[in-house]
A and B are shown apart, each in its own frame.
Chain A
C-alpha cells in the first residue's frame, strides 16, 4: 500500500470508514479491513453487476475503472480506495438509454452468457476512451486480460468497433451475419 495514502479511520468492531465515489455518487460505508474492492462493491454496496471468476486476477471478470484506469477489483484492497473514483458496469449508462457499447454488445451477439460482459464492457470503454478509432489489434490487446468462454471474441471485437463508430458520430451498424447457404427455407413449424 502506498504510504502516502490517508490512513483510514478504524470504527467500532474493527471496521474501516471508507468514503469513495462510485459511478459519480459519493458513498460512505464501514467495511471489513480484509475486503477487496470487488467484495465491497458486490456485498456492501449491492452492485452485483461486477462479477468474479477467480478472485486471483486471472479472468478479468471483475474489471472496473479506478480513477479512470482499468483495474481488477479483486486485487485492490478496499482500504486503498478512499477518496477515489470507481466506475462499474452500472455506471456506463446515464438514464434508461444504453451506452453505445452496451447497445452494440446486445445487438452484435457480444454477450452470450453475459458473465464476462461487465468486465469486458469496462475494458472496452477504457480503450475507446483513449482511442475511439482503435484498430482490431489494439482492441484485442486491450481485451487480452478478459477471458470469455462463450463467444470466441469475434463478435466482441465487432461490437467494440461498432460502438467506436457510434461514439465518433456515425450511425449504428447492423451485426455481421454468417454466410448462409439456404435451401427451401419455408419448412413450416415442423414435427
Chain B
C-alpha cells in the first residue's frame, strides 16, 4: 500500500522539537508585555474578611491589582460544578487558592508586590480526608452537592447482585486504596493574553481543551465568544493536567483587557502542583461471587474519592470509577456505588486513564486473589472469561472489536509465563493484568447535538493542502495524525499537509485532547473532509483523462488512471482542474459518535465508539530485607485496531507503561499538617520534582511492546486509542508480581519498600486499607442487564 498509514515516518512536527524552534506557550512574548503573579492562600479553609492591596499597589512597577471582586461570575469545566472563581471571592478552600493577582512591568516586580497583598481570614475547620468529609457536615466547603461535604454520590444496580452473591459458590471481598498522584508534565502552565489590533481578546495558553477555555472565558468575562480567540500552542505534555479552564488563564485575560497590554503568567513548579487536577485518591471495596468454574455471577464495587477543594471533572471521575469495570471480563450482574467528597486540598481531576486506573488496580489484584484461591492460572482465567466481541456489558456499554484475548496470549507467550509463573524462585516474580479503555466519550461535556470534531480542508492550486482543526497537540502526535490521514486519502505524504490546530478562530471545534478521543473523532472528521476533496479532484481528473470516476487513483502526489497509471496529472494540476471546474476547493468533515445504548441517568459516562484493550506481564525482583521492588522487565500488548504510525504508537505504549510504573512504585500527591506553631495548615508534602519522586532512566526497565491489530469499523482506517489504555494494567501487574515474588499482598499504591516490609512482617502478609467508612448512598437506580430483559432504562424503586 503506497499511503502513509502504518509506516514508521518521522512526525511532521519532529523537526521543530529537535531544533528547539517549537514555540511553547512560555516561549511567546510580545512588545510591551506585562507579567502577572498570583497571591495565594496560605491557609487551607477560611472566610476572607478583607484584602488589603495598598502596599501592592504602591510597589514599584505595578500596573494592576485584581481580586475576587473583579470576577463575580463562577466557572468550572462541568455544567453541574460551576464552583470556581478566577480569584477567590468570599472563601479560600486550600493552601494555594488564588486570592489576588498583581500585574507589573517585570516578573520580579510582580512577585515582590504579590507578597505585599494582605489577606485577613476567619479560619474554618480543615477537612483533610474523605473520612473527615463524611463525618463533618459543617462547615461545608461548598454550598452545593449531595449534602454536607459530599460532592456527588451515585448508586446503580445492574441486576440483583446480593441475590447473585447469595447463590455463589464462593464470595470474595477486598479493600484497596489507590493513592493520588499528579501529571508532572515537564512544561509548567503558562498563559499570554492580549487584545490584538483588531480588538479581539486573544488567550494563548497551555490548554488541552481550548474550546472549553473559550466558553469559560466568555462566561466569566461577559464577552461574546466571537470576541475571544483561544490559541493552544503545542504543549510540553498534558496527561490531563491542562484539561480544565484555569483561574490564571481567565485572570490574565481580564488583566490584558484592563491594562490594554499583553499580560503573561508562567507558573512555577510549586504552583503547578497546586493546580493539580490529578489522579483522585480512591478507597475501594470489591465483592465478587463466583461459581465453581470461577465465572463472575455478581460483582460489586464501592468507591470513595478524595476530590480536593473544587468540582473539576469530579462528577465524571466518580462515574468513571465504576463505568469501565464491566468491559474486560464477563460478569452477570454488577453493582456500583461511588462517592466523591470535598476536602481542603488542591482539586483532583482527570489524569491519564481518568478514574479508571484506581478500580482497575483493585479488580486485577482481586482477580489474582480469586485465582489463587481457586487454583486457577490468572492468565488462563482472564482468557476464559474475556468479554465477547460485539457484545453489551451488564451496564449497557456496546463493545465492538476486542483484542483482549490476543493481548493476553501475546504477553503470556512473550514472557514465558506458563513455565515461569510461580516458578522463579524466592524474591522474583511475575504478575499479569489486563484492561480496557475508551476511544473518546460518547457524549460531550455540555449537552449539545453538534459534532465532537470538525475538520476543514483548503486545497490551493499550487497543490498545497491545509487542514484546519481545533484539536490540540499536547505531545501525543495529534497534528501528525491529522496530516497523515488527509495525506492517506489524497495520495500525498504527511509532510505535504500543513496543519492549523489549537485555534478557536481559525479552525472548527474539536472538543480537546482528553478521553483518548482525538485519533478516532478528529480522524473520522479528517477522513470525511479529505474524501470530499478527493471526490472533487476525481471528478475533474475523470473529465480530463476521459475515464470513469471509479478509475481515478491517488498516490505519491499524482492523480491517475488506475488502469494505466502512466496516464495522469500531478496533484497540483488536479486541484487546478477542480478549481477551474467548480470553484475554490474547500471541504469540511465532522464526527459525532453513535448514541449510547444506555438510557438511564448517568449512562452517558462510559459509552464510546470503540474500546481498546491491553495486557501486561511485569517481572520484579523484591529484596526481602529492604522491601525494594525492582522491575526487571515489562511485556505489554495493546489492541490498537490499526497502528497509523508504529513508532508513534510504540512511544505512547511505552510512555503509558512508564507512567504506570511511576504510579505503581513511587508517585504520590501526599499532604501533611504543619505543626501548630506554623499555623497547623494542611499543606502539600512534596511540591517539587525532587520530593515528588518519578522514574528516571535508572528506574525504567526494558519494555517489550506488542501491537494487536484488528481494525475497528468505527476508527479511521481501523485505528483505536493508545494514549491512555496501556497504563491501566501496569500498577496491578506490579502488585501481583510482588505477590509472586514474596507472597505478600500490597493492596495499596504506591508499592513502596515500607509497605512491602510491613506486609512481610504482618501476620496477614498484607498491607492496605482495613475498613471502608459508612456512606449514605442514594437510592440506587435499578437497570436490568441486557440478558435479563429491559431496554437500558432504569426502574426507580426502593432498594
A interface list, Cβ under 8 A from B: 32, 34, 42, 47-56, 58-59, 61, 88-90, 92-93, 98, 101-103, 105-109, 111-118, 121, 139-141, 143-155, 174-191
* Least CB separation from B638: chain A residue: A178
Closest CB in chain B relative to A128 CB, distance in Å: 15
Q: Which residues of chain A are near B236, meaning CB under 8 Å?
A: 51, 53, 113-116
Contact A150:B655 (CB < 8 A) given known A112-B477, A114-B17, A115-B24 = yes
Q: Which residues of chain A are near B15, meaning CB under 8 Å?
A: 98, 106
Is B795 interfacial (CB-CB < 8 Å)? no
Measured between alpha carbons, how far is A169 from B83 in the docked complex, in Å? Answer: 61
Contact B19 A112 (CB under 8 A): no
Measured between alpha carbons, how far is A173 from B409 in the docked complex, in Å? Answer: 31
Contact B655 A175 (CB under 8 A): no
Contact B650 A155 (CB under 8 A): yes
A and B contact pairs by CB, cutoff 8 A, 18 listed: A32-B108, A54-B269, A54-B688, A56-B689, A98-B15, A107-B14, A109-B651, A113-B235, A116-B236, A141-B697, A149-B184, A149-B186, A152-B651, A152-B657, A154-B700, A185-B709, A186-B1, A191-B524
Measured between alpha carbons, how far is A52 from B712 in the docked complex, in Å? Answer: 41
* Least CB separation from A61: chain B residue: B186
Contact A34:B108 (CB < 8 A) given known A109-B650, A115-B475, A178-B649 = yes
Which residue from A56, A109, A114, A188 sits with its C-beta under 8 Å from B269? A56
Q: Which residues of chain A are near B658, meaning CB under 8 Å?
A: 149, 151-153
- Per the 8 Å Cβ criterion, residues 13-40 of B in contact with A are 13-24, 26-27
Contact B713 A190 (CB under 8 A): yes
* Least CB separation from A59: chain B residue: B689
Contact A48:B187 (CB < 8 A) given known A140-B697, A179-B707, A187-B642 = no
Closest CB in chain B relative to A10 CB, distance in Å: 18
Size bin of chain B's contact surface: 35 or more
Contact B10 A107 (CB under 8 A): yes
Measured between alpha carbons, how far is A155 from B527 in the docked complex, in Å? Answer: 30
Is B643 interfacial (CB-CB < 8 Å)? yes
Q: Which residues of chain B are near A141, meaning CB under 8 Å?
A: 697-698
Measured between alpha carbons, how far is A147 from B690 in the docked complex, in Å? Answer: 11
Closest CB in chain A relative to B84 CB, distance in Å: 26
Which residue from B11, B705, B714 sits with its C-beta under 8 Å from A106? B11
Is B716 interfacial (CB-CB < 8 Å)? yes
Q: Which residues of chain A are near B650, meaning CB under 8 Å?
A: 109, 155, 176-178
Measured between alpha carbons, how far is A176 from B159 in the docked complex, in Å? Answer: 48
Contact A90:B717 (CB < 8 A) given known A109-B647, A151-B654 = no
B interface list, Cβ under 8 A from A: 1, 6, 8, 10-11, 13-24, 26-27, 108, 183-188, 234-237, 239, 268-269, 406, 410, 414, 474-477, 488-489, 523-524, 527-528, 531, 637, 642-643, 646-651, 653-655, 657-659, 688-690, 694, 696-698, 700, 702-719
Which residue from A111, A116, A189 sits with its C-beta under 8 Å from B14? A111
Contact B268 A55 (CB under 8 A): yes
Contact A58 B688 (CB under 8 A): yes
* Least CB separation from B659: chain A residue: A149
Measured between alpha carbons, how far is A6 from B187 in the docked complex, in Å? Answer: 35
Contact A144:B698 (CB < 8 A) given known A109-B651, A155-B651 = yes
Contact B700 A152 (CB under 8 A): yes
* Least CB separation from B185: chain A residue: A149
Closest CB in chain A relative to B411 CB, distance in Å: 11
Closest CB in chain B relative to A35 CB, distance in Å: 9
Closest CB in chain A relative to B309 CB, distance in Å: 24
* Least CB separation from B591: chain A residue: A191
Q: Which residues of chain B are near A154, meaning CB under 8 Å?
A: 654, 700, 702-703
Which residue from B20, B188, B716 sits with its C-beta under 8 Å from A189? B716
Closest CB in chain A relative to B243 CB, distance in Å: 15
Contact A181 B706 (CB under 8 A): yes
Q: Which residues of chain B are near A184, meaning CB under 8 Å?
A: 710-711
Closest CB in chain A relative to B552 CB, distance in Å: 16
* Least CB separation from A113: chain B residue: B475
Q: Which residues of chain B are near A155, meaning CB under 8 Å?
A: 647, 650-651, 654
Measured between alpha carbons, how far is A121 from B19 in the docked complex, in Å? Answer: 9
Q: Which residues of chain B are near A174, meaning CB under 8 Å?
A: 8
* Least CB separation from B653: chain A residue: A178
Q: Known contacts A53-B188, A114-B17; can you find 8 more A-B pairs with CB under 8 A?
A: A51-B187, A112-B476, A113-B475, A115-B185, A115-B237, A183-B709, A187-B712, A189-B488
Q: Which residues of chain A are near B711, meaning CB under 8 Å?
A: 183-185, 187, 190
Contact B642 A177 (CB under 8 A): no
Measured between alpha carbons, how far is A109 from B19 in the docked complex, in Å? Answer: 15
Q: Which residues of chain A are near B706, meaning CB under 8 Å?
A: 178-181
Q: Which residues of chain B are near A98, meaning CB under 8 Å?
A: 15, 18-19
Q: Which residues of chain A are near B703, meaning CB under 8 Å?
A: 152, 154
Contact A112 B655 (CB under 8 A): yes
Contact B234 A113 (CB under 8 A): yes
Q: Which residues of chain A are near B709, meaning CB under 8 Å?
A: 180-183, 185
Contact B20 A188 (CB under 8 A): no
Measured between alpha carbons, how far is A56 from B527 in the docked complex, in Å? Answer: 45
* Least CB separation from B410: chain A residue: A181
Closest CB in chain B relative to A174 CB, distance in Å: 7
* Least CB separation from B708: chain A residue: A181
Question: When A and B form their complex, which 10 residue pairs have the shortest distance between CB atoms, in order from nearest?
Answer: A49-B20, A113-B475, A115-B236, A114-B17, A187-B711, A152-B658, A106-B14, A152-B654, A58-B689, A187-B718
Measured between alpha carbons, how far is A140 from B699 in the docked complex, in Å? Answer: 10
Closest CB in chain B relative to A187 CB, distance in Å: 3
Contact A113 B649 (CB under 8 A): no
Contact A190:B718 (CB < 8 A) given known A51-B236, A98-B18, A154-B702 = yes
Q: Which residues of chain A are near B702, meaning CB under 8 Å?
A: 154
Measured between alpha carbons, how far is A146 from B702 in the docked complex, in Å? Answer: 18
Q: Which residues of chain A are near B18, meaning CB under 8 Å?
A: 89, 98, 101-103, 105-106, 111, 114, 117, 121
